[in-house]
């Protein structure tokens, strides 16, 4: 029986590592990425080109990216850039794919990238246009697409407006992000249904944090809404340093397990992911793993 494929981008090297007390060495980041590739992961977010003062964990992006791309030429490798300066640095390091990050509330944009909503929108559009002119593939995050840690519930209208603008700016992928992990499946279904009215569903991706244990349920709601592109983080590591209360991303191993048991193909091996979780756990010196990790590690 032919199974439908879903596409998973593992964001552990960026979202997962940007908030860790232990700053991973470049060689360890490369090893983590190698383990993900060995597990069959075809797409990752490797780093961010942001201010090293804001996020010191990502200060080695310009050293890491060329090594990743030369060692794993077939791997889709994206990097987060918040502005034109980030794009310039990423391009100089040989980036082939970038992601801009826009939040659907005024305060979250200010806390995250020190711009108001209007300016963040304009900067994202300029960055997308410049990236396209350089021939790069592009993603656009719409963060706090459900709730903002500072302003509370995000109006659906705001999310639709930003997604439409990012689509008009020709972002290849528009990533609907539950930054603080507060979404529930019914709401995911409703919002993605509405988003399908402004962005072709093939261009929509979802990025769930798993703060309240609903990451996998939300991913299922997104699957039912027709979305086939997912962000996840091996071991469930992650969280935005500027969004208080956010836990890690939905764990890649949980997402893969759910999808495969539900008849979707991911191309990713669960034992391979467990090896990556074990490595990350050893280097970050704390227990890691999604909700299924104990079962996945069973002898
Ligand atoms: P700013 O202070 O307003 O920037 O920061 P500025 O333009 O005034 O410049 C200040 C200094 O930063 C200057 O250097 C610039 O050159 C430098 P100085 O003259 O002081 O030496 N600078 C940069 N350096 C390196 N790379 C750059 C860059 N831009 C300016 N790209 C800025 C604005 C955006 C830079 C800053 O606020 C920043 O870096 N923020 C970090 C944002 C971040 O990484 N957030 C976490 C990722 S987003 C996330 O996790 C959410 C997501 O996962 C989705 C979800 O879950 O919702 C994606
Ligand atoms: Mg995130």
pLDDT digits (tens, 9 = 90+) for 173-211: 999 999 999 999 999 999 999 999 999 999 999 999 999
What is the dihedral angle through the alpha carbons of 80, 207, 18, 173, rounded to the nearest 10 degrees?
-10
Distance in angstroms (rounded) separating the CA atoms of residues 126 and 72: 29
Which residue's CA is the nearest one to ligand 1's atom 11?
A: 51
Kindly report whether the global pTM for this prediction surpasses the value 0.80: yes
Q: Which atom of ligand 1 is nearest to the CA of 246?
A: 56
DSSP calls for 12-37: IIIIITTT-SSPPPHHHHHHHHHHHH
Report pLDDT digits (tens) over 132-157.
999 999 999 999 999 999 999 999 99
Please tell me the total number of residues recorded for the chain in this structure.
299
By C-alpha distance, which of 56, 146, 45 is closest to 97?
A: 45
Q: Which residues pair with 232 in a beta bridge?
A: 10
What mean pLDDT value characterizes the chain? Answer: 97
Residue 157, φ and ψ in degrees, nearest 5: -55, -40
Evaluate if residue 54 carries a pLDDT over 70.
yes
Distance in angstroms (rounded) separating the CA atoms of residues 26 and 177: 27
Distance in angstroms (rounded) separating the CA atoms of residues 3 and 264: 6
Q: How many CB atoms lie within 10 A of CB 285?
A: 10
Q: Which residues line ligand 1 (CB under 6 A)?
A: 15, 18, 48-51, 54-55, 80, 82-83, 85-86, 89, 101, 112-114, 141, 143, 177, 179, 207, 209, 240, 242
Per-residue model confidence (pLDDT) at position 203: 98
Per-residue model confidence (pLDDT) at position 254: 98
115 near 109, Cβ under 8 Å? yes
Residues catalogued as catalytic: 240
By C-alpha distance, which of 87, 185, 204 is closest to 141?
A: 204
Per-residue model confidence (pLDDT) at position 238: 84
Report pLDDT digits (tens) over 70-105.
999 999 999 999 999 999 999 999 999 999 999 999
DSSP calls for 154-215: PPHHHHHHHHHHHHHTT-SEEEEEETTS---HHHHHHHHHHHTTTS-GGGEEEEEB-TTS-H
Residue 1: pLDDT band (50, 70, 90) is low
Report pLDDT digits (tens) over 241-257.
888 888 999 999 999 99
Report pLDDT digits (tens) over 115-130.
999 999 999 999 999 9
């Amino acid at each position: 029986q032919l199974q439908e494929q879903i596409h998973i981008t593992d964001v552990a090297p960026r979202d997962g590592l940007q908030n860790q007390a232990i700053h991973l060495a470049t060689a360890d980041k490369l090893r983590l990425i190698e383990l993900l590739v060995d597990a069959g992961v075809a797409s990752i977010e490797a780093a961010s080109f942001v201010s090293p003062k804001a996020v010191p964990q990502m200060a080695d992006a310009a050293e890491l990216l060329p090594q990743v791309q030369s060692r794993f030429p077939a791997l889709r490798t994206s990097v987060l850039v918040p502005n034109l300066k980030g794009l310039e640095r990423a391009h100089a390091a040989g980036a082939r794919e970038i992601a801009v990050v826009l939040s659907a509330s005024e305060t979250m944009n200010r806390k995250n990238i020190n711009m108001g909503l209007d300016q963040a929108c304009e900067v994202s559009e300029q960055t997308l246009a410049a990236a396209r002119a350089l021939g790069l593939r592009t993603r656009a995050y719409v963060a706090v697409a459900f709730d903002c840690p500072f302003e509370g519930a995000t109006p659906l209208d705001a999310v639709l407006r930003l997604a439409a603008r990012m689509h008009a700016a020709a972002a290849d992928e528009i990533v609907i992000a539950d930054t603080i992990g507060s979404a529930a499946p019914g709401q995911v279904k409703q919002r993605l249904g509405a988003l399908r009215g402004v962005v072709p569903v093939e261009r929509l991706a979802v990025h769930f944090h798993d703060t309240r244990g609903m990451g996998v349920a939300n991913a299922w709601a997104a699957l039912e809404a027709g979305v086939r592109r997912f962000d996840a983080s091996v071991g469930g590591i992650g969280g935005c340093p500027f969004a208080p209360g956010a836990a890690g991303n939905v764990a890649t191993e949980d997402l893969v397990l759910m999808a495969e048991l539900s008849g979707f193909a991911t191309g990713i091996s669960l034992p391979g992911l467990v090896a990556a979780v074990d490595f990350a756990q050893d280097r970050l010196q704390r227990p890691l793993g999604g909700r299924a990790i104990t079962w996945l590690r069973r002898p």
